[in-house]
Amino acid sequence: MTLETDLYQPGRRVRVTQQLAQRDRVWTNCVEGVITRYQQAKTGSWFAHARDDRLWLDRLELRLDDGEMSILNLDQYSVIEPA
């Protein structure tokens, strides 16, 4: 995951590639859109010794070309690059 704070500025167009490992293959998905918000948000999951005893995730909100809003949970396999 790219951690350049300039890359997460609202209004910036990005392409996000994420991978999900499966038993015998890797599923890859690419999403392209304009950033509306980047935040760290807590989940309903409990996680010991974390802030508020909750699991926190990096979330990137994008407005896609067709107007749809998409919220992506970022992890170590997420690649974010200018589009």
Q: What is the CA radius of gyration of the chain?
A: 14
What is d(CA 63, CA 53) in angstroms, rounded to the nearest whole number?
A: 31
pLDDT recorded at residue 2: 46
Tell me the pLDDT band of 66, cut-offs 50, 70 and 90: very high
What is d(CA 12, CA 32) in angstroms, rounded to the nearest whole number?
A: 11
Query: CATH fold of 5-82, please?
Result: SH3 type barrels. (2.30.30)
pLDDT recorded at residue 39: 93
pLDDT recorded at residue 7: 79
Is this model's pTM higher than 0.75 or not? yes
**Tens digits of per-residue pLDDT, 16-63?**
999 998 999 999 999 999 999 999 887 776 666 666 677 788 999 999
Q: How is the chain split into domains, by residue range?
A: 5-82
